[in-house]
Structure 1
C-alpha cells in the first residue's frame, strides 16, 4: 500500500488530523480531548487559561494583571488581610503576593497598617486610588463574566456556580484530612 493510500485509509478525526506538512495537528479547544471527550480537570484548567488570558488583555491598558486584580478584589471584600491570607485566597504563592503587594503599595493602591495585637503582621486595605482602580477593572471583568454566562438562564448559572464552589469545598477536605 502506498503512503498516500495508507493515509487516506486512516479515519480522519479532529484530534489526529495532520497539517499539510504531515505533522500531527494540535487540536483546537473544543476538539478531541480538548472538547467534551476530555477529562474534567483538564477542561477546567483549559477554561481557566482562556479566561485568564482574556482577562489579562482586558486589564492590560489599566496596568493591572489578573493576579493583581485578584489581590485587589480580596482586599476589597476582606479589608485588613495579611499577605499570607491574601496568598491563600488568591491561590498565589506568598512570594508572588509579596511582589504584588509591594507594587500595589508603591502605586498607592493599597495601604499597610500593623495588626493591633500581633505587631509583626501587616494588614492591607485599599486606598481610594485602589478602590477606583478596582472599579475600573471590575467593569471589564463583569463584561467578561457576561460573555461567560451568555446562553445560560439564571438557574443554569446558579447550578454551575454551586457545582464549582462544591468542587472546591469537597476537594479542600482532602487537603485538611
Structure 2
C-alpha cells in the first residue's frame, strides 16, 4: 500500500476561521470538498461513502418495508441457508440483539423460517421462505440499480480493482 504524500499528512498552519468571534459563519464542506474529498483520511472517506450508500438504499427499499440491515440478513440467508443468528450477526456486522429483532420480524412476516440444528438442538437455523426469496428478489433489483449508479464511470478493470481493494482492506484489518 502506498503512503500518503507528506503534503496530505502534514498539519496545516492554523487559519482564522469565521465564527461568532470572527463575524461570519463557519463553512461546512460538502462531500468531495476539503477533508471530505480526496485530501481526507481513507477511513473517513469509506465511512462517508457507506453512509451515502446506506441512505440511498434505505430510500430505495422503504416502500417495501425493508431496511438495509434486513436486506443484509435476507442476502446472507439466501447465500448461506441454515445460518444461526450468531452467524448472521457476524456476517452482517450487526449486534446479536439487532439480528434477534430482525429475525423475529422477518419470521413474523413469513420471510424466513427457523429449523432446529440436526445435532445441536439449541441452535436455531434460519432459511428464506418463498415469500422471503420473492421479497429479496425485488429488493435486489433496486440495489443492483444503485450499484450500477455506484459503478458508473468505471470500466470492468477499475471496478474489479476496487472490489479487490475493498475485500483486501477487510482481510488485512481483520483481528487475529
| TM-score when normalising by structure 2 | 0.87
Write the mapping of 1:1-177 to structure 2, written as runs, cut at 5 A: 22-172=24-174, 175-176=175-176
1:33 counterpart SS class: helix
Structure 1's consecutive aligned runs of 4 or more residues displaced over 3 angstroms after TM superposition are: none
2:113 counterpart SS class: strand
Alpha-carbon distance in structure 2 between the residues aligned to 1:88 and 1:156: 29
Deviations 1:96-116 (A, max 9, x none): 000000000000000000000
Cα RMSD of the aligned pairs, angstroms, is 1.4
Work out whether residues 37 and 45 of structure 2, in 8 Å CA contact, stay in contact via their aligned partners in 1.
yes
Which structure 1 segments of 5+ residues have no match?
Answer: 1-12
Distance 1:68 1:17, change over 3 A: farther
Alpha-carbon distance in structure 2 between the residues aligned to 1:141 and 1:17: 41
Shift of residue 17, structure 1, vs aligned partner: 7.5
Which structure 2 segments of 5+ residues have no match?
Answer: 1-14
Count of equivalent residues:
158
Shift of residue 22, structure 1, vs aligned partner: 1.6
Alpha-carbon distance in structure 2 between the residues aligned to 1:148 and 1:17: 35
Shift of residue 163, structure 1, vs aligned partner: 0.2
